[in-house]
Amino acid sequence: MSEIREVRGLGQPLPAMDFAGSRVLVQGIAEPLGALYVPLMQRYGTSIVAGVSPAFGGTEAAGIPVFDLVEQAIEQVGAVDVAVLFVAPYTMLDAALEAMAAGIRQLVLVTEGIPPLDMVRLLREAESTETFVVGPSSPGIIIPDKILLGTHPPYCYQPGSVGIISRSGTLTSEVALELTRAGLGQSIAVGIGGDAIVGSSFQQWLQILEEDEQTEAIVLVGEIGGESEETAARYIAEAIEKPVVAYVAGITAPKGQQIGHAGAIISSRIARIGTEIGSVESKLAAFKRAKVPVADRPSKIPKLVMQALEKRC
């Protein structure tokens, strides 16, 4: 997973789609979440070569050697492709900077509630080192029957040709399960994260799946708040040829309640997206302009995907 390329029009580094052979290091392997999900990742076939938890160096977790520092781990086990981070919110910045300093260029941040200013600094360093960041507040990445990098429940997924990109954690698995029950397997599912500031974007993953030979259709799962869905809709209209189906969580939220932040509202006016940026109406209108069908509930997604694939044929 070492190949890096640029997102057209976005100026951001992208990893190649070949996650399956990744050598993985887990930071926070002795934390409660790490201890819970590392055995699940192992059973799924993920190659976890080392773990890092300060003060636990010299021990083992699920048969995996544990080190105090990332640098020590790499000296002993060799190069690492991906770090999955389960560390506490206020130690995430230090852990991520440590991984980047050790040369790891793909990070999956599972932890939620990371201080926004910490994420700003983390992402600045990621940009300067060409590090691809997924999350935070993310269930991570799963390629069905190949690799699990995070907390996705494997029983919801089966191999196939539908890629899922989602802001939500649990909804990602719910959508996957609906697709699986309809006989529509998945090429990959990724949660980009639900915090206010996240690393990789809808646009980046849309391009990854657009270029992936295994993926024939894309499901985008959004939420009210922020402008990421509106931006993604414009990008779909401009750059994506594969069929895309969307779902927006929060349709029944009270109307008139201001959701999002001042920067998103101001930028929406400048870009002429509309003053209701972040609302479900704004997102639905953006997808309509991009000619992206939107399901009104997760159970309707499989039918829309089938219809989109039939139209393409």
**Catalytic-residue membership of 261:** yes
Residue 12 confidence (pLDDT) above 60: no
Last residue of a domain, one of 116, 134, 152: 134
Long-range CB pairs of 30-38 (<8 Å, 24+ gap) are 30/56, 30/61, 30/66, 31/86, 31/87, 31/88, 33/86, 33/110, 33/111, 33/151, 34/61, 34/86, 35/61, 37/86, 37/110, 37/150, 37/151, 38/62, 38/64
* Tokens (6 digits) for 180: 């699986």
- Residues 161, 126, single domain; the answer is no
Residue 34 confidence (pLDDT) above 60: yes
What pLDDT, on the 0 to 100 scale, is given for residue 47? 97
At 36-82, the pLDDT tens digits run 999 999 999 999 999 999 999 999 999 999 999 999 999 999 999 99
- Residues 204, 247, single domain; the answer is yes
What pLDDT, on the 0 to 100 scale, is given for residue 273? 43
- Residues 96, 226, single domain; the answer is no
What pLDDT, on the 0 to 100 scale, is given for residue 226? 87
Select which of 261, 289, 300, 303 is catalytic.
261
CATH number at residue 295: 3.40.50.261
What pLDDT, on the 0 to 100 scale, is given for residue 16? 57
At 179-235, the pLDDT tens digits run 999 999 999 999 999 888 999 999 999 999 999 999 999 999 999 888 999 999 999
Last residue of a domain, one of 87, 102, 134: 134
Q: Are 268 and 262 in contact (CB under 8 A)?
A: no
Q: pTM value? A: 0.90
d(CA 190, CA 177): 14
Among residues 135, 166, 302, 178, the alpha carbon closest in space to that of 232 is found at 166
Q: How many domains does the chain have?
A: 2
Supply the mean pLDDT for the chain. Answer: 89
- Residues 28, 75, single domain; the answer is yes
At 263-286, the pLDDT tens digits run 333 444 444 444 467 788 999 999
- Residues 118, 232, single domain; the answer is no
- Structural domain boundaries, residue 37: 4-134
Last residue of a domain, one of 134, 157, 179: 134
